Structure 1
Amino acid sequence: MINILLNASRPLKRFISVVYDLVAIPAAVYMAMALRHGTFTPPIETNVYIATMATAVITIGVFIKLGLYRAVVRFMTSKAFTTLAIGIAISATTLATMSFLVPAAIPRSSVIIYFFTAFALLGTPRLFIRSIVSQLGKIAAEPVIIYGAGQQGIALAQALASSTSFRPCAFVDDSPQKQKTSIQGLKVLPANSIDEICKSIDVKKVLLALGRTGTSQRKRLIEALADKNLEILTAPSVTDIISGKARIEEVREVEIEDLLGRECVNPDTGLLESNIKDKVVAVTGAGGSIGSELCRQVLAQKPAKLILLELNEYSLYSIEQELNELNTIQDTGIPIISILGSVQKQNRLETIFRTFKVQTVYHAAAYKHVPMVEHNVVEGVRNNVFGTWYCAEAAIAAGVERFVLISTDKAVRPTNVMGASKRMAELILQALAERQRDTLFCMVRFGNVLGSSGSVVPLFRRQIKEGGPITVTHPDIIRYFMTIPEASQLVIQAGAMGKGGDVFVLDMGEPVKITSLAKKMIRLSGLTEKTEQNPHGDIELQFTGLRPGEKLYEELLIGDNVEGTDHPRIMTANEVHLSWPETHNLLNRLDKACHEFRVEDVINLLLEAPAAYSKQGESPDWVLNASLNASKTLK
């Protein structure tokens, strides 16, 4: 019967509500009179009937005017019940007025009693239906524990009250003052009660609402929960909720940065603004992971103009749309100019820099996927080495004030072409910094960033969702990790410190063992690892072997000659480099080898450069090997 009523058409539901109210209002008058006279058969004259029916009709009109019949009963809020109370107060006033005009023998105290009997008869069914619907919706909802009984946790519980996905069954909080209390009808229990709750209610998920909890404390908490084979989800931050980026009920997977336990260092505003505020800034590779975040950070510092340079049309379109939205939200009106093109076109770059009077360039355009560049040596060198050179020469010719190269830890004692090409790009800028003084060149070197294209984190998440296996190249492989926003902020600050030819190194924190990261992600998903000891586990780890050019660990420094700076996360390294004539000679030979597609000569020239490049085995370049195989076949 309830389902039939709930699925009925809106006009039918309104008709039923009106009919019910027409019956309930006279019933409320009768109850008020009976209570006033203390008998089930109070004295009711004809005029009382007239006054009552007139009151009922007028009350229905008032309810229509107040919009009570437009409100969906199952979703009625406290505001709707307040409106109902106002309507009943008007109805009681109407009853008193009609009893005076008719006149009818209705005691004045009965009018007061009528307010309460009417509210009971009119409000109770609406409250009952809302409660029933809420309970019906919660039958299929999954029971969850909310960790954190602060403001964020209470707001989450309130938001989930109408959710059909999750049903909060308890709060867990570390504060002794909150424990053994009740909030929103839910008990607040200590953390050691989680196992007991899970057994009694079969809870498989914990929703974190930790508010301003510190990063290290958050890390310890998440790791402790991960050992309980519970899926750990987190509520959006208060900042995201206020800004409109997320709603409180939009729980999501735990961010991997929470597992790193890396405390954020507040950026130096002066350094962030130094080369951006009121200046024309260009970002190459603007559609990439780092490039796009650099664009966001640059826009926040209010440049005079922002030039986006990108080869991929869709990536350029995406970041342009996002930045224009930010422009609208922040009401900044900063001109954003999107330019399609390659960094290998020096004349076009010079024209762009000169036309728009670019003052600062952040050069993020590069091929960075190690195996991809190993299989495409010539194009990797063309883009990473010559793209940087041409972009730098264009900057000098156009009078750009500062040029910042985004480098990588793979440029340190590289074992792959990608790393060697990035070290070669550093050597070019170091030589150009000595050749001239008009454009200031510097480079910033850092490791992996979380969430970038090709990062292991999104790969592992996808593999877990697909049921595994998770593929790891080697059991002992380790990597440094940093969030993209932090890396981008540090790049901008380091670039502002440059004096010419500087190599800046970012403090990447503690290295992370990729195998441990994969296992933690499995546990945080509420799953278990499938091993020989646990053959019935959910997700298996498979080791595929190191990819071409891949190292077990990455370094950030070539030598030990490193100095600190005014920023605790930024260091500067003094490293060996070539003079410009030597660099230019090497580039000319490298250019000829690339033009003639002599892959082995390209690799030998990279080995010749002071890049500490250590080649591993034969080159896996697709075209080289295909041509060699074809030659063997002809012979």
Structure 2
Amino acid sequence: MTQRLSPNLRRFIVFVFDFIAIGVSFVGAFFLRFDFKIPPVYFPLIKQGLLWVYLCQTAVFVSQGLYRGLWSFASLRDLFLILKSVFLAVSLTVIVFAMNWNRLLGWPRSILVLDGFLLLMILGGGRFAFRFSREVILSWTKKRKKILIIGAGQTAHLIAREFLQRPELCKKIVGFLDDNPRLSGFRLHGISVLGRLDTVSRWVNKYNPNEIIIAIPSLPGTKIKKILSVAQKFNISCRTCPPIRDVLLGNVHLNQLREVRVEDLLCRNIVTVNEKGLENFVKNKKVLITGAGGSIGSELCRQILKYNPSVLVLYERSEYNLYRIEQEFKTTFSPNINKTKLEFVIGDILDEQKLTGTFERFLPEIVLHAAAYKHVPLMEENLDEAIKNNVLGTYILAQVVLQFYVKNFVLISTDKAVRPTSIMGASKRMAELITSQLGQLNHITKFSAVRFGNVLDSEGSVLPLFREQLFRGGPITVTHPEITRYFMTIPEASQLVLQAAMLAKGGEVFLLDMGDPILIRELAEELIKLSGLRPYDDIDIVYTGLRKGEKLYEELFIEDQHIKHTVHSKILVSLNELFAKLPKDWEEKLQDFSKRSTLYSNKEIVQFIKLWVPEYTGFQNKEIQENAIPPIPLDNGEKSNLVVLPRYIH
């Protein structure tokens, strides 16, 4: 087979084929012109003209790269290249013949036209005949796996085209399913659109495919669940396509198809942002991101790079996290396409001198503050560090931002800041208050905060822990059967943070619409099912009881708060923040805490927090401790006391 030949040998074979084709088409043109009876008087002219034809047409074919294409994947693009090459070759031949007209008197003018048509048929036909015969041979010699594709739009077209262009994969598409009634009964690449998505069970029964591919990036989670349940019932593999942004760019390849994940089942709509507005907001600006190596910080970096800032400063305390993101950008970031200058800085937001030096060096215009301690149970044991990093760190950074007249400052906050029951939530609420206050007091920097719930697959979050527990054979631990959380994917959250930053006027706390809350128990059950196992039978789910600082449910705002919609349907703004009050002499109190934090007892830290956040009710509160739910009884009547299990963030 040709794929075993060296590239040079393949090119030589193609060259020989085209060389022969040039001669055959030229002589064939004479046969056609004279009804296959060429008068002997034309023999010398044919011999003389053939030399010029070879010189002209071979030169054009080489210059157009006609020998670099692979016949196995001959496509319409190759046909257009052949058409262009033949047109140029015949045109050059006409010019050369016109310059030597005295030597070629008596030539029929139609010869070169016929030559062009014949040459096009031989070159194009030869390539497509080779591809077709190769596909037929492969289909005869190897058993092909049957595929049912969900969707008949652009994504399905790209996936189907790649399958059809790669017969060595031995895949056969049996049909497409799509809810668009206008597509029903039509054909895509010669393959029928069989019907609607809700008929998937019928067509699986009829065609018995080996695999289902979901080729609709925006398909709701409820429909994915139904398709997945059919696939599991018939023991069929089910894969899905890459994100919508890759589809819009035409970047869909077979190696990007992946197994269905839990996040695909969360029934979320695709987030859209004002791309043009964001480009105007970021392009040619200097941007600094704190916590740039973390889950949210690193994704913010990826999103920001799409809009071509002049400089992107990645400020991160963890050497390993910064190294990891640096290595990623080395392999994925193209300086030839994106002119952004990347700067990797190891530094702590509590180090005012380091921050000042960094700002002095790069003069950022936009600052996204993602650095924070986020682990709820750990912060319950380390109150002083939570306040120092999340509150004092935000204050120090904000002062440096003011000193250097930064245009925009955005704090990444959390829904745990609403009526906080945890130290982490209270510390983020304090950071929100500082941000809001500074936004109202100055008219140079636009200070704002963006509050949202949990992000899927972030470091230390519930999904990685569930996967680890599943890998170990279970059980999966959930704190309470009714506990719910808001979820968003990391790219979704990052895109909306940037959109909110663009909308900021100063002093706002933006709230992201997280959709409906998800039962953590159901999340665990879906993860088990996706692994081909049965919840409670193959893998048990154990309820361990709420932990310190943990709520059954989270809130993005308090019911009596005044909430206003923005121009973006997924972004709200809390008007109450415009009237939020900080304690009297709050800056002096914060600076005093900075100097004497190691001398503060936990009780004094709680009192300090309550000066700022009177609504804070934590596990230091006796009443809440008494109301905390006990360990949930197991099926065998015993109580769960798995105190040694890893802690995680919901």
TM-score (norm 2): 0.68
CA contact (8 A) 1:59 1:87 kept: no
Question: Deviation of residue 278 (structure 1)?
Answer: 8.5
CA contact (8 A) 2:528 2:535 kept: no
Distance 1:543 1:374 in 2: 23
Residues 308-323 of structure 1: matches in 2 within 5 Å? 308-313=314-319, 315-316=321-322, 318=325
Residues 184-583 of structure 1: matches in 2 within 5 Å? 184-191=189-196, 192-210=198-216, 218-229=220-231, 231-234=238-241, 237=244, 240=246, 243=249, 246-247=251-252, 249=254, 251-253=256-258, 256=263, 259-262=266-269, 264=271, 282-294=288-300, 307-313=313-319, 315-316=321-322, 318=325, 329=337, 338-350=344-356, 352-353=358-359, 361-374=367-380, 377-395=383-401, 403-428=409-434, 442-456=448-462, 471-474=476-479, 475-482=481-488, 483-493=492-502, 495-498=504-507, 503-520=509-526, 528-531=532-535, 540=539, 542-543=541-542, 545=544, 548-549=547-548, 551=550, 553-556=552-555, 559-567=558-566, 569-572=571-574, 573=576, 578-581=582-585
CA contact (8 A) 1:449 1:487 kept: no
RMSD: 5.6
Partner of 1:175: 180
Question: Deviation of residue 480 (structure 1)?
Answer: 0.9
Partner of 2:152: 149
Secondary structure of 1:161's partner?
A: helix
Question: Deviation of residue 346 (structure 1)?
Answer: 2.5
Distance 1:347 1:267 in 2: 37
Distance 1:156 1:279 in 2: 38
Larger radius of gyration: 1
Question: Deviation of residue 370 (structure 1)?
Answer: 2.7
Number of aligned positions between the proteins = 588
CA contact (8 A) 2:293 2:318 kept: yes
CA contact (8 A) 2:221 2:265 kept: yes
Question: Deviation of residue 26 (structure 1)?
Answer: 9.8
Secondary structure of 2:450's partner?
A: strand
Distance 2:556 2:8 in 1: 74
Structure 2 CA distance for partners of 1:355 and 1:468, relative to 1, 3 Å: same
Q: Deviations over 1:20-77 (max 9, x none)?
A: 8899999999999999999xxx999999999999999988777754356655433334
Structure 2 CA distance for partners of 1:22 and 1:493, relative to 1, 3 Å: closer
1:74 aligns with 2:83: no
CA contact (8 A) 1:159 1:249 kept: yes
Secondary structure of 1:515's partner?
A: helix
CA contact (8 A) 1:490 1:570 kept: no
CA contact (8 A) 1:444 1:504 kept: yes
Distance 1:299 1:89 in 2: 48
Distance 1:168 1:147 in 2: 11
Question: Deviation of residue 586 (structure 1)?
Answer: 7.0
CA contact (8 A) 2:407 2:445 kept: yes
1:129 aligns with 2:130: yes
Structure 2 CA distance for partners of 1:510 and 1:518, relative to 1, 3 Å: same
Gaps spanning 5+ residues in structure 1: where? 94-100, 619-635
Partner of 1:96: none
Q: Which moved more, 1:370-379 or 1:116-125?
A: 116-125
Q: Deviations over 1:262-287 (max 9, x none)?
A: 3646559889978x789765433233
CA contact (8 A) 1:430 1:441 kept: yes
Question: Deviation of residue 193 (structure 1)?
Answer: 4.7
CA contact (8 A) 1:446 1:556 kept: no
CA contact (8 A) 1:476 1:552 kept: no
Question: Deviation of residue 418 (structure 1)?
Answer: 2.2
Question: Deviation of residue 595 (structure 1)?
Answer: 2.5
Partner of 2:619: 614
Match for 1:581: what amino acid? D
Residues 109-128 of structure 1: matches in 2 within 5 Å? 126-128=127-129
Match for 1:231: what amino acid? C
Residues 620-635 of structure 1: matches in 2 within 5 Å? none
Gaps spanning 5+ residues in structure 2: where? 95-102, 232-236, 627-650
Structure 2 CA distance for partners of 1:398 and 1:550, relative to 1, 3 Å: same
Distance 1:298 1:588 in 2: 37
Q: Deviations over 1:378-411 (max 9, x none)?
A: 4444322321232234445556676543221122
Distance 1:299 1:35 in 2: 61
Match for 2:564: what amino acid? T
Structure 2 CA distance for partners of 1:127 and 1:470, relative to 1, 3 Å: farther
CA contact (8 A) 1:159 1:248 kept: yes
Question: Deviation of residue 530 (structure 1)?
Answer: 1.6
Secondary structure of 1:407's partner?
A: strand
Match for 1:562: what amino acid? Q
Question: Deviation of residue 197 (structure 1)?
Answer: 3.6
Question: Deviation of residue 506 (structure 1)?
Answer: 3.4
Structure 2 CA distance for partners of 1:328 and 1:481, relative to 1, 3 Å: farther
1:161 aligns with 2:164: yes
Question: Deviation of residue 232 (structure 1)?
Answer: 3.8
Distance 2:510 2:115 in 1: 80
Secondary structure of 1:168's partner?
A: strand
CA contact (8 A) 2:421 2:551 kept: no
Residues 47-86 of structure 1: matches in 2 within 5 Å? 65=59, 66-67=61-62, 71-76=69-74, 77-79=78-80, 82=83
Match for 1:580: what amino acid? K
TM-score (norm 1): 0.69
Partner of 1:7: 4
Secondary structure of 1:74's partner?
A: helix
